[in-house]
Amino acid sequence: MFLLQATQNGNELAGMTGKRDHRMEFRSKSSSEIEFCWTKLDRKSKKVSFLITQNTNGAEEKATGDTVEDLANDIADLQMKLDLISLNINA
- Residue 59's pLDDT band (cuts 50, 70, 90): low
Q: Is 58 within a domain? A: no
| Residue 5 and residue 43 in one domain | yes
| Residue 47 and residue 6 in one domain | yes
Average pLDDT over residues 20-26: 75
- Residue 75's pLDDT band (cuts 50, 70, 90): very high
Q: What is the domain extent for residue 78? A: 63-91
Per the CB < 8 A criterion, the answer to whether 76 and 84 are in contact is: no
- Mean pLDDT, the chain, whole residue set: 80
DSSP code string of the chain: -EEEEEEETTEEEEEEES-SS-------SSSS--EEEEEE-SSS------------TTTTSPP-HHHHHHHHHHHHHHHHHHHHHHHHHH-
Q: Is 2 within a domain? A: yes
Residues in the chain: 91
Q: Amino acid letter at 37?
A: C
Which one is predicted more confidently, 20 or 68?
A: 68
| Residue 47 and residue 67 in one domain | no
How many structural domains is the chain composed of?
A: 2
Count of CB atoms situated within 10 Å of the CB of 38: 14
